[in-house]
Structure 1
Amino acid sequence: MSDQFLSIRQVRKAFGPTVVVQEFNLDVKQGEFVSFLGPSGCGKTTMLRIVAGFEEPSVGQVFIGGKDVTRLKPNQRNIGMVFQAYALFPNMTVAGNIGFGLKVAGKPAAEIRSRVAEMLELIKLPDFGNRYPYQLSGGQQQRVALARAMAPRPQVLLLDEPLSALDAKVRVSLREEIRTIQKELGITTVFVTHDQEEALSMSDRIVVMYDGRAEQVGTPFEIYNRPATRFVAGFVGTLNVIEGTIADPAAGVVTIAGGEISVGNRVAGRKAGEALSLALRPEAIALGRREGRDGLVTGTIREVSFLGSVIRVRVDMGGALVSLDTFNSPASPPPVAGERAEISFSSSDMLILDR
């Protein structure tokens, strides 16, 4: 545990007969940004509240900086927390909100003023100290909430879906700012979200949660490209699922959409005629033959959606409807629905899903 700053050991949480977190283990390094990602009800916010001290685990332990904080109250562990709702004090100025935790801790007035000024610079609102929350936009209010959480220099920063109430453009801007500030301060951060794009773009590592468990822990690259379970494969990113049949397990030959592809030794030990599910990301499929791609299937274009820089094409592949993405080019008109088309892919990009 010596090289880990935040450690969660065998945590389980039940409310009566309902278990909401089970067998949860995680080690987070100093300065690491880790996201809990999953659908509503998967236990991610409950796990965050256990780290914060707002909930006590039924079983298990939480360590911060090597210290067991499992039974300590929130104000007894050095954490900062930012909630989905801004939760700013409406009767206090921006400066008053940011300095509130320092004032409660009994810090000298000069130190509070200095730290508040430092935080206002950090969140790019240096001249907003005398304003009140109602005079700020949603994005500005959330920046102030972030500054308030960081002002007392917490050991761990906890963010509970802080961007979900903002519009899309502000969310993108603010998530970049949060990540920049987090790196600058080197603060250990746990971020809860149901938005996969946020998790993929901001995190050093992601914990994908489902039914109270950590389904997979890994870098964004690992989670997206090497999903460990069918749930992770389907939840993170867009996925085409294609049903196939094993033709020759020894040779690794699988039949899909009336054609055969080779998946190497990934079906070794299974039976000929056995059904299996395979998956491909849209960006792994191309229209037409491509050099170096060993998978080739003919289908019918059913739908073409213009999305600006990308055109999403849906192709009927012998009853399996798959989506693929191709870049928009002003010199090349998009394909037309109803046309026959060849699509190509590399069998090495195919994921074999556990049925």
Structure 2
Amino acid sequence: MADPFLSIQSVKKSFGNVAVVKDFNLDVGAGEFVSFLGPSGCGKTTMLRIVAGFEEPSAGKVLIGGKDVTGLKPNQRNIGMVFQAYALFPNLTVAQNIGFGLKVAGVPKAEAQARIDEMLGIIKLPDFGDRYPYQLSGGQQQRIALARALAPKPKLLLLDEPLSALDAKVRISLREEIRSIQKKLGITTIFVTHDQEEALSMSDRIVVMNEGRADQTGTPFEIYNRPSTKFVANFVGTLNVLEGTISDAASGTVKINAEEIGLKGKLNGSKSGDTLSLALRPEAISLGRKAGNDSNLTGQIADVHFLGSVIRVRVGVGQNVVSLDTFNSPSSPPPVVGQKTEISFSSGDVLVLH
């Protein structure tokens, strides 16, 4: 990345003796949408607050547009911030809430009104200007909070779990709207979430955080399909883990129960007799033998859950249990619990967890 718009350089943050952020580095391009993804307590919100200026780093610096802003207050950084709590002023109308930052900045009344009308149009609530927050649904209030953050035309938008208080259906709709607005305005955005589906569906890149560090940074495709650590592999998406033993490291042969599969090129640094954890996404596994799959294991149907268009099947393979989904077919009844079966997969889809 030639000239990152946001650059976080060797940032650390400790509260007393507790290190919350540990040597965090990230460059974000202009107009890029980057998500900080991780469990509670991993440091993602603290890192966002450091970028915003609400927390001062113990070490390192933050640059926005090439300018070192580490020592600047939040109102000196030209950022927009949206919180999990809508934080709307209950005594102000929707229009007054959206225009609050413009009023503080001394924007002329006519210009401010034009910007308020523009923002109401962008968030698809053009006729809501005279309403008060209590007259709005949760999703509508969060749209207003977003419009208020965007009204002063910030260079950087920071979103701290803005959808977590909403119900599932509204959350899906609103995340699509947020991404659409972000693309339309071309604003550089950092989005904090613990919801992997949100991060995967919205982001240009994802930073998976674990205990104050960035475990992996990459596109949603890379994070999901090529996790670089065991933590990332387990945290992002559903994962099946099979325990195996290397029977021949030279040929890349691994034994699972009494059956062998080939993992040539994936056992670097391992030796015969080593125990390995092998991971497979559910969608990489087929029930029965399938053309193109070079690995097969025998097992027994442990559970079958009919979910309409999809049938979720759990198969016991020795001491391991793997989950997979098959499409419902009216002409083919689902498998029966206790039934002997085979599962198949491509050795290229196997992740070796270290």
Do Structure 1 and Structure 2 share a fold, with TM-score over 0.5? yes
Q: Which residue of 1 aligns with 2:294?
A: 294
CA displacement at 1:2 relative to structure 2: 5.2
* CA deviation map 1:22-67 (0-9, x unaligned): 1100000000000000000000000000000000000000000000
Q: Which residue of 1 aligns with 2:264?
A: 264
> What CA distance in whole angstroms lies between the structure 2 residues aligned with 1:290 and 1:129?
58
Report the alpha carbon displacement of residue 106 of structure 1 after superposing the two structures with TM: 0.3
Distance, in Å, in 2 between the alignment partners of 1:102 and 1:211 is 38
Cα deviation 1:278-303 (Å, max 9, x = unaligned): 00000000001101111111100010
Q: Which residue of 2 aligns with 1:156?
A: 156
What secondary structure sits across from 1:162 in the alignment?
coil
Which runs of structure 2 are paired with 1:123-162 in the superposition (5 Å)?
123-162=123-162
Q: What residue in structure 2 maps to residue 92 of structure 1? A: 92
In the TM superposition, what is the alpha-carbon distance from 1:183 to its structure 2 partner? 0.2
**Cα distance in 2 for residues equivalent to 1:308 and 1:351:** 30
**Could you say which residue in structure 2 is the equivalent of 1:176?**
176
Aligned match of 2:350: 350
Q: Structure 1 280/2 Cα, relative in aligned 2: closer, same or farther at 3 Å?
A: closer
Q: Which residue of 1 aligns with 2:327?
A: 327
Aligned to 2:229: 229
Correspondence list, 1:42-61, <5 A: 42-61=42-61
CA–CA distance in structure 2, aligned partners of residues 182 and 308 of structure 1: 35
Q: How does 1:244-255 map to 2 (within 5 A)?
A: 244-255=244-255
Find runs of 4+ consecutive structure 1 residues off by over 4 angstroms.
none
**Which letter maps to 1:39?**
P
Per-residue CA distance 1:101-126 (angstroms, 9 max, x = gap): 00000000001100000000000000
- C-alpha separation in 2, matches of 1:266 and 1:295: 15
Aligned-pair CA distance for 1:331: 2.5
> How far apart are residue 226 of structure 1 and its match?
0.2
Partner-residue secondary structure (3-state), 1:57: coil
Q: Distance in 1 between matches of 2:186 and 2:61?
A: 24
The Cα offsets for residues 252-274 of structure 1, whole Å up to 9 and x where unpaired, read as 00001321000012214422111
**1:303 match:** 303
2:263 maps to a residue whose letter is V
CA contact (8 A) 1:314 1:322 kept: yes
Report the Cα offset of residue 165 of structure 1: 0.3
In the alignment, what sits opposite 2:71? 71
Contact 1:246 1:272 in 2 (8 A): yes
The residue matched to 1:125 in structure 2 has which SS? coil
- Which SS does the other structure have where 1:334 is aligned? coil
SS of the equivalent of 2:298 reads: strand
Which deviates the most, 102-111 or 268-277?
268-277
The AA in structure 2 aligned to 1:257 is N
Q: Which moved more, 1:269-278 or 1:123-132?
A: 269-278
Cα distance in 2 for partners of 1:116, 1:238 equals 43
Partner of 1:279: 279
TM-score, normalised relative to structure 1: 0.99
SS at match of 2:291: coil
Residue in 2 that maps onto 1:116: 116
Asked if 2 retains the 8 angstrom alpha-carbon contact of 1:250 and 1:265, the reply is no
Match in the other structure for 1:83 = 83
AA in 2 matched with 1:205? R
1:14 aligns with 2:14: yes
Contact 1:35 1:192 in 2 (8 A): yes
Shift of 1:329: 2.0
Letter in 2 for 1:91: N
The count of aligned residue pairs is 354
CA separation in 2, counterparts of 1:343 and 1:4? Answer: 46
Deviation of 1:202 (Å): 0.2
- Of 321-330 and 80-89, deviating more is 321-330
Per-residue deviation at 1:308? 2.6
1:278 aligned partner, one-letter code: L
Q: What is the percentage of aligned positions where both structures have the same residue? A: 75
Amino acid at match of 1:140: Q
Unaligned runs of 5+ in 2: none
What TM-score results when the alignment is normalised by the length of structure 2? 0.99
Distance across 2 between alignment mates of 1:2 and 1:265: 34
